[in-house]
Amino acid sequence: MGRGRMSHAQDQQLERLTFFSDAVFAIAITLLVIEIHVPHPEANTDEAWIQALVDLIPHFAGFILSFFVIGALWAAHHRIFGLLRHYDPSIVWPNLVLLMAVAFMPFSSSLMSTHSTERVPEMFYAFTLLMAGLIQHWVVKRALRAPFLRDDVTDDMIAMARRRSLAMPCMAVVAGVLAYWWPGPSNLPLVLTPVAVMLFARMRKAPPATVTS
Amino acid sequence: MGRGRMSHAQDQQLERLTFFSDAVFAIAITLLVIEIHVPHPEANTDEAWIQALVDLIPHFAGFILSFFVIGALWAAHHRIFGLLRHYDPSIVWPNLVLLMAVAFMPFSSSLMSTHSTERVPEMFYAFTLLMAGLIQHWVVKRALRAPFLRDDVTDDMIAMARRRSLAMPCMAVVAGVLAYWWPGPSNLPLVLTPVAVMLFARMRKAPPATVTS
Amino acid sequence: MGRGRMSHAQDQQLERLTFFSDAVFAIAITLLVIEIHVPHPEANTDEAWIQALVDLIPHFAGFILSFFVIGALWAAHHRIFGLLRHYDPSIVWPNLVLLMAVAFMPFSSSLMSTHSTERVPEMFYAFTLLMAGLIQHWVVKRALRAPFLRDDVTDDMIAMARRRSLAMPCMAVVAGVLAYWWPGPSNLPLVLTPVAVMLFARMRKAPPATVTS
Amino acid sequence: MGRGRMSHAQDQQLERLTFFSDAVFAIAITLLVIEIHVPHPEANTDEAWIQALVDLIPHFAGFILSFFVIGALWAAHHRIFGLLRHYDPSIVWPNLVLLMAVAFMPFSSSLMSTHSTERVPEMFYAFTLLMAGLIQHWVVKRALRAPFLRDDVTDDMIAMARRRSLAMPCMAVVAGVLAYWWPGPSNLPLVLTPVAVMLFARMRKAPPATVTS
């Protein structure tokens, strides 16, 4: 009884934690755009305007890339917390650390877009992704533990989630190393991160056969 | 049993997906205002101030227009996801692409307002609306599919939702073409987009007679 | 049956509408701060710094005032939508118009704070509050209608809510008229708006005796 | 019956209040990053870039510090409102005052980071934390009162929550006093605030033995 009531209250707390996390993800992902500034070409000809928009392409590309990176982090968070039934209060602070890495992304994304062929900004961007990915892996390991999981969550699903959370740190290392020689194009592997995550997501659906309690 | 539990968890996931989407819509729609900058007229006379505010009218008009455009996209999203009972994980990424188009709007809206009589910025704005509209049409088609719908959703309602989601892309094409000759006034057809959507909304209520399972 | 299912779906839609509204209120209220810019005094002495902070007092005062104005609008929205049981789809667009007025506040608040003794900016601020208040009164009248109300909502409560929603427009008119002669201090009556709303809130609790329907 | 219906409606209102609060916390915590501006070093050498990033360290440190301060305020809010079962309408305005202090943090954090060795900005920052902490203590005292608490909330838990809410004001006083002599390093005690809160959180779990109604 006291148990049931406690659980219900804990459910609400879990909901509020995921809610707060969603809000931070949503704000960080939407703030990416405010780093793209409206151009003011000197001549008001069509050619000058088209050139001004062409000059913004690195910013557009950076916006799209970082949108999908934060989107992938959110989708992973969404999936992981969807496996939880109860609320482990000790997850609050690791989760805040993850949100801090996400909230920092508008800065590192803007740094990378503004100086899209410089070695240090590109490596710094890859480094922040590496940190975000590793923190997420840590949160996954902390969150997906026995007493807090939904009944239908199998060991396979947990192992899958852990492995999958290593996709982004790996891609970030590749991008960071490539940035030493080819800053700019070095970000191309990151484009594949969501694809990698989706591939894993597909793989996940396969084994819903054995259900452990 | 396992089924029911699964469904319940999926409902929560659907709720979280719509929640995250709502947050991105809300942030993008509210960020529109930060592109309107406070004027600092040289003279502090009433006349100079009134002139300064009159000079801002294109920005006010752009704010109102883009507010209703994003509002219409949100209202459509609200209505479409309200027809779903279950959660199709494969909708996550198309939905993120739609949110990216929405999150980009504060930039294209600011570009359009700042250069309200230039051909290229106006056409660029119309182009981003076209993209947002087409992506939404794609999401509607992907989301409104058999096993995920509520029991009381009829085929008519689905057909209606699909047709309705073509209203904005059509208006965007009209505005984009007009912008070639009359940049600025070319946006007037867009003002009618919410009206068109509302008309469709009225039409929808008519046939709740036959209910398919 | 079909009825019950419909109602449940409508409840979710109502929840999502209030949620989206809450998010817009929350973003607008938090964006107020980004108009206060960090000062860079020429001398790095304590005196120069204290002077720099003293110079910001109009901005701090404007932040606090607008925070309570948006807070009062939110509290009213919170209370009004708390009286609803069902979801009237026709409220979506009036509600969006109200949210537009709220989302516009960071601009008019910044205009008012930056030029805190100029007649036109102060009157413009009062005018935007008047518009926001009147739109809210319109939303209250549209929302609080028979088939959508909770069973325990009395006619008295509706009449109260309508009357209460006139408090802010009245205060805005007073502030706007005063701003003609005393721009700046003219905003003082607005400080009393939340107090007025709270007074009405106290009055409301009195008659929960007779329950209609 | 009327009672039960009332309670259900009140629950929804409580949910909406915590939701709105969460959104303000999330926006304020994410806005911290927009005060870190992308550097534009004159030379495009690796050394110049590394130096540019090193120069940003006070901003990074300020971002992390303020992220954890707002995070600690949110975690406390999360915990306190998790103890409530019902909704006390009189908590709306004290809660708004707390949210105002939170929404103000991006400014004071930016002021502190931009002038990280100046006495007045550092003391101003500590002062805003002191205010936020004291307001939170006031909200805790107002919120955790008899008829609104969950059944399983003991007197010990309330006393704990009250004492815990004094941790931040105490740390802020220490930091503010230290800032007189060592502006900058004076913020180090604040780093320990979340640790202190976590220690209290650990202590809290001990006495779930006696349950008062």
Grade residue D184 by pLDDT with cuts at 50, 70 and 90: confident
Contact (CB<8Å) C31/B30: yes
Grade residue A99 by pLDDT with cuts at 50, 70 and 90: very high
pLDDT given at position A135: 95
Residues of chain B positioned with their CB less than 8 A from the CB of C9: 82, 150, 152
Alpha-carbon gap: B181 to the closest alpha carbon of chain C (Å)? 30
Contact (CB<8Å) C67/D5: no
Grade residue D8 by pLDDT with cuts at 50, 70 and 90: low
Residues of chain B positioned with their CB less than 8 A from the CB of A110: none
Instruction: Kindly tell me if the per-residue pLDDT of D204 is higher than 60.
Output: no
Alpha-carbon gap: D22 to the closest alpha carbon of chain A (Å)? 6
Alpha-carbon gap: B187 to the closest alpha carbon of chain A (Å)? 19
pLDDT given at position C194: 66
Contact (CB<8Å) D118/C49: yes
Q: pLDDT tens digit string along D99-158?
A: 999 999 999 999 999 888 888 999 999 999 999 999 999 999 888 887 778 878 888 788
pLDDT higher for B213 or C54? Answer: C54
User: Which chains touch C (3+ CB pairs under 8 A)?
Assistant: B, D
Alpha-carbon gap: A49 to the closest alpha carbon of chain B (Å)? 6
If you average pLDDT over residues D75-92, what whole number do you get?
A: 84
- Chain C residue with the nearest C-alpha to that of D6: C152
Closest to A110 in 3D by CA, of A66, A158, A154: A66
pLDDT higher for A15 or C61? Answer: C61
pLDDT given at position B165: 84
pLDDT given at position B211: 46
To the nearest whole number, what is the mean pLDDT of chain C?
83
The secondary structure of chain C as a DSSP string is -HHHHHHHHHHHHHHHHHHHHHHHHHHHHHHGGGGSPPP--SS-SHHHHHHHHHHTHHHHHHHHHHHHHHHHHHHHHHHHHTTB-S--GGGHHHHHHHHHHHHHHHHHHHHHHHTTT-HHHHHHHHHHHHHHHHHHHHHHHHHS-GGGB-TT--HHHHHHHHHHTTHHHHHHHHHHHHHHHSTTGGGHHHHHHHHHHHHHHHHHHS--S----
- Chain A residue with the nearest C-alpha to that of B6: A152
To the nearest whole number, what is the mean pLDDT of chain A?
83
Contact (CB<8Å) B26/C23: yes
pLDDT given at position A5: 46
A9 touches chain D (CB under 8 A): yes
Distance CA D130, CA D136 (A): 10
* Exposed e or buried b per residue across C100-115, where buried means at least 16 C-beta atoms within 10 angstroms of its C-beta: bbbbbbbbbbbbbbbb
Percentage of chain D with pLDDT > 90?
37
Could you give the angle at which helices D119-143 and C46-55 cross, rounded to 10 degrees? 50
Contact B173, B131 (CB under 8 A): no
pLDDT-wise least confident of A188-202, B99-113, D49-63: A188-202
Q: Which residues 76-135 on chain C approach chain D with CB closer than 8 angstroms?
A: 78, 82
pLDDT given at position D198: 65
Nearest to A29 among B5, B24, B93 (CB): B24
**Could you list the mean pLDDT of each consecutive 10-residue stretch along chain B, which spans 213 residues?**
50 83 94 90 88 92 92 88 81 92 94 89 93 93 82 81 84 88 84 71 52 44
pLDDT given at position A128: 94
Grade residue A8 by pLDDT with cuts at 50, 70 and 90: low
Q: Which residues contact B205 (CB under 8 A, 6 or more apart)?
A: none
Q: Which residues 148-167 on chain A approach chain B with CB closer than 8 angstroms?
A: 150-152
Instruction: Kindly tell me if the per-residue pLDDT of C135 is higher than 90.
Output: yes
pLDDT given at position C52: 92
Q: Which residues contact A100 (CB under 8 A, 6 or more apart)?
A: D64, D67, D68, D71
This prediction has a pTM of: 0.88
pLDDT given at position D3: 39
Nearest to B36 among C2, C27, C107 (CB): C107
Distance CA C118, CA C124 (A): 10
Alpha-carbon gap: C151 to the closest alpha carbon of chain D (Å)? 9
pLDDT given at position C201: 59
Instruction: Kindly tell me if the per-residue pLDDT of C203 is higher than 80.
Output: no
pLDDT given at position A179: 86
Instruction: Kindly tell me if the per-residue pLDDT of C88 is higher than 60.
Output: yes
If you average pLDDT over residues D195-211, what whole number do you get?
A: 57
